[in-house]
Structure 1
Amino acid sequence: MEITIKNIKKTQVAYVSVKGPYDKIPEVLGEVVSYVMEENLQIIEPPYGIYFNSPMEVSPENLKYEMGIAFIGEAPGNGRVNIKNIPDHQAVSTVYKGPYGEAAQIYQTIIEYAMENNYQIAGPVKEIYLNDPMEVTENELLTEVQFPVVKKS
């Protein structure tokens, strides 16, 4: 597994914030992608999820996460789908191959890499879904896992 520190460019995203079980993820992602397509926006990156807490720490009803997609264009959002800019930043990153639900098993390794290289974790984990579960088997799914970081002084 190759772990790197990446420079992430500013992006504009359409997203939905969710509180509840992860089984809502496919529906919410579909909602975000549909909105972007209806607005005739240019998708520039695969869809992502940002996870603010863990099923190891809270009940499924209290899970907090955001599903979104980066785009180019102008859009107002629609009340449920929001628009924001994610600023330039650095992230410790690697690609996990396997079922989506198992990507969390590499989080600790990524965090340790950041610490060993004099970086501090600066926010929640982001998973970017690089291929389509309708096109590949679960074992072939690719997820880029990122934690935003800042260099320790």
Structure 2
Amino acid sequence: IHLVVPPMDMPKYMDPAIQEVLQVLAEQGVKPMGPLFSYHHRRPADTFEFEIGFAVNGEVKPQGRVKPSTLPASRVVSSLYTGPYEGLGGAWGELERWVRAQGHVETGRFWEAYLSNPEETPDPADYRTELNWILG
């Protein structure tokens, strides 16, 4: 599902969109094969523009807002952040400083893989999120 939302509204739109994706996958007999991810098309400004989805074990047919897509083959730098989602901005800032210090060119595109399920990991301090920054 492709979303364009203000940062403060992200939680309001994420959960319903995740449930919609999972419902469509179940209806089509397709199973998630990895964690939820959000692929961001550009650096955040006034809004986040991103897709949410899962790697899956079969073909997904377009249905409603759910459309198949793929993550681009890319050179990336990855980092693992542990903590509440509110700390992701700071984690991305640290990763950005490292990327620039290494002389890498950034594209403004990135994705997050949410390795912890909040229903199974009740303490936000234990959430694990993989940060993937696409390099130019």
- TM-score (norm: length of structure 2): 0.84
Counting strand residues as a fraction of each chain, which structure ranks higher?
A: 1
Q: Which residues of 2 match residues 3-42 of structure 1 at below 5 A?
A: 16-20=1-5, 21-22=9-10, 23-42=12-31
Provide, for residues 63-102 of structure 1, a one-character-per-residue CA deviation record: whole Å limited to 9, x for no partner: 4322111112112211310111223212111111111122
79, 104, 118: which one pairs with 1:119?
104
Aligned to 1:74: 59
1:9 corresponds to: none
Residues 130 and 143 of structure 1 are in contact (CA less than 8 Å); yes or no, is this contact kept in structure 2?
A: yes
**1:99-138 pair list within 5 angstroms:** 99-136=84-121, 137-138=123-124
Task: Structure 2 unaligned segments of length 5 or more: list them.
Answer: none
- 1:6 matched residue in structure 2: none
Distance 1:35 1:127 in 2: 22
Q: Does residue 1:65 correspond to 2:54, yes or no?
A: no
Query: Residue 53 of structure 1: CA displacement?
Result: 4.6
Indicate conservation of the 8 Å contact 2:43/2:108, yes or no.
Answer: no
1:115-150 Cα distance to aligned partner (Å, 9 max, x none)? 233321123231110011011111111111111113
Residue of structure 2 in register with 1:139 after alignment: 125
Alignment gaps of 5+ in structure 1:
1-15
The alignment partner of 1:83 has SS state of coil
The count of residues paired between Structure 1 and Structure 2 equals 130
**Aligned residues: CA RMSD:** 1.8
**In the alignment, is residue 96 of structure 1 matched against residue 89 of structure 2?**
no
Does the 8 Å contact 2:60/2:67 carry over to 1?
no
Contact 1:53/1:65 (8 A) holds in 2: no
